[in-house]
Amino acid sequence: MLEHTKALHTDAVTLSFTVPSALVAEVRDFMRQHGIAEERDFIPWREAMGIIDEELPATCLRGARYREGLTQQQLSDMTGIPKRHISEMENGKRPIGKHNARRLADALHIDPRRLLSV
C-alpha cells in the first residue's frame, strides 16, 4: 500500500503587481536589495491563448455570454439584437459597434469597452 505524502513546502511565492511607471526603477532597486529575483520567463496571455487584438472583442463577448449561462437566442431576446448578428459578432464577422456594445454589456454585466476594438 502506498504511503500518504505530505505536500512540499513552497520556498518561493510568485507575485505580480502593477506600479506607476515613475516608480519602476525604485521598486526594482528595492527588490534587488532584498534578494527578490525578477523573473523574465513568462508568456503574455494573448500569446498563450492564441488571441490576436482583432479577435479580442468577439472572444470577450462569447466568454461573457458563456459566463452568464445564456444562449445566443436568450441574449438576443434581452438586447433586441438579432441572434444572427450576435453569432456574427462572436465569430468576428461583424463589428460590435458602440450602441450594441452598450446593450450587450448591460445584459452581460461587463464594461462596454471590453467589446470594442482595441
Q: Per-domain residue ranges for the chain?
A: 46-115
Tell me the range of 25-39, 48-62, 67-81 where mean pLDDT is highest.
Answer: 67-81
> 0.85 exceeded by the pTM?
no
Residue 1 has pLDDT above 60, yes or no: no
**Helical (H) or strand (E) element with 8:** none
C-alpha atoms less than 13 angstroms from C-alpha of 68 in its C-beta half-sphere:
19
Class of domain 46-115: mainly alpha
Kindly indicate the confidence band of residue 54, based on its pLDDT and cuts at 50, 70 and 90. confident
* Model pLDDT for residues 74-104, shown as the tens digit of each residue: 999 999 999 999 999 999 999 999 999 999 9
